Structure 1
Amino acid sequence: MTATPKIIIRDAEEFEQEAIAQIMLEAYQQYASVLSEQRWAQYRDSIRNSVYGKAAHARIVAVLDSEIVGSVQMFLSSEDAYGNPEMGIHSPIIRLLAVSPTCRGKGIASLLIQEAARRSVLLGFSTLNLHTSDMMATAVQLYERLGFQRAYETDIRNGDTLVKGYQLDLRSASLLEDVV
């Protein structure tokens, strides 16, 4: 009988930035065909820049067999996450959740979100936020399955795209059972 490899969720190390950027770009590459060439180039640059930026409170990675296979960034406000204090979000926001296409379906995204939720609770927050768009339908299904609810008041526009806000009530999140 072969042992199932264990997925380790931990903080990213600074020297791992390029590996994280590669996983993120690999994960988000599927949207290149849905976006115009210019929008994809902007999105790709934004993804890469986020890996090297300093605004994130935490950069959480998933490691399988000593290799980074997923990541998520956690910010403590809309000002930190988007440079937009007017949005009025003063609780954690996760951004750029990414799992290598070769490792999808193993629960890695759920583990990364669960860790961000756990950390949010430990910091004294009662909600966890995120933003996504309709082109990320599979991700939306995951978020809703994990208990995120639409937070219409946090919706934003990026050009013609409606970027929908979602929020998880950490006081009643079943995803935190047996974790905190």
Structure 2
Amino acid sequence: MLIRKMKEHEIEFVRMQRLEGYKEYRSLVSEDHWYALKGTLSSDSDLNKGVEIFVAEIENQLAGSIVLFPGKMASYEWTSDSPDYPEIRMLAVDHQYRGHGIGRALVQHCIDLSAKQGYSFVGLHTADFMKNAIALYTKMNFERVPEFDFEPVNDGIIVKGFRLPIPLLHPLKNKSQIE
């Protein structure tokens, strides 16, 4: 598996793959919530300056994608809260590639990149109806940050904030130099 930046000509395929991957949630949410989610997955917010889209490629096929918004950038249209750390969004893995660690690898790529950029945290949002996502983020030690929760439409579904503390990377190689 190769994780790389998305090429410009791949954006429409990535957006269609996202929508296809999220269709399983349509019956679990209100119509208003589905249209808000669908709009987010296909909006141009992922093309804003500083936003990066990464894809997982297996044997020349795009198996999944993820978007990383930089710190202090509003990553949702309906909230003005912007944490001072990057935000992972729109993780999607093609159905035929699920269960092979692709989602985890994409998330880890964003964590590693955020660490290299010197951030102390990386965040994300998800809802309880996305059970596989909740399980993945819990296994990866993301912690809840309820102060970043929001309700995109008035249907009782809370989109929950999570973040992962990133260990400080020390440029010093010798442990005795750190102490």
Same structural fold, with TM-score higher than 0.5 when normalized by the shorter chain:
yes
Q: How does 1:1-180 map onto structure 2 within 5 Å? A: 7-50=1-44, 53-55=47-49, 57-77=51-71, 79-83=73-77, 86-159=80-153, 160-171=156-167
1:122 Cα offset (Å): 1.1
Alpha-carbon contact 1:8-1:64 (below 8 Å) kept: yes
Give the equivalent residue in structure 2 for 1:3: none
* Partner-residue secondary structure (3-state), 1:61: strand
Q: 1 CA distance for matches of 2:92 and 2:136?
A: 13
Deviates most, 51-60 or 29-38:
51-60
Alpha-carbon contact 1:21-1:51 (below 8 Å) kept: no
1:67 Cα offset (Å): 0.9
The RMSD of aligned alpha carbons is 2.0
1:170 Cα offset (Å): 1.0
Q: 2 CA distance for matches of 1:47 and 1:167?
A: 21
Alpha-carbon contact 1:56-1:73 (below 8 Å) kept: no
The aligned length equals: 166
Partner amino acid, structure 2, of 1:62:
A
- Label 1:139 to 1:99 Cα distance change in 2 as closer, same or farther (>3 A): same
- Label 1:170 to 1:53 Cα distance change in 2 as closer, same or farther (>3 A): same
- Normalising by structure 2, we get a TM-score of 0.85
Q: 2 CA distance for matches of 1:170 and 1:21?
A: 29
Partner amino acid, structure 1, of 2:14:
I
1:42 Cα offset (Å): 3.3
Structure of higher CA gyration radius: 2
Q: Which runs of 5+ in 2 are unaligned?
A: 169-179
Alpha-carbon contact 1:133-1:162 (below 8 Å) kept: yes
- Cα shift readout 1:75-125 (whole Å, capped 9, x = no counterpart): 013533125774240110000100011110000001001100111011110
- Label 1:85 to 1:135 Cα distance change in 2 as closer, same or farther (>3 A): closer
Q: 2 CA distance for matches of 1:75 and 1:136?
A: 21
Q: 2 CA distance for matches of 1:165 and 1:141?
A: 14
Q: Quote the sequence identity (%).
A: 30
Alpha-carbon contact 2:151-2:158 (below 8 Å) kept: yes
- Cα shift readout 1:106-155 (whole Å, capped 9, x = no counterpart): 00001001100111011110101000111011110110101101111211
Give the equivalent residue in structure 2 for 1:4: none
Partner amino acid, structure 2, of 1:9:
I
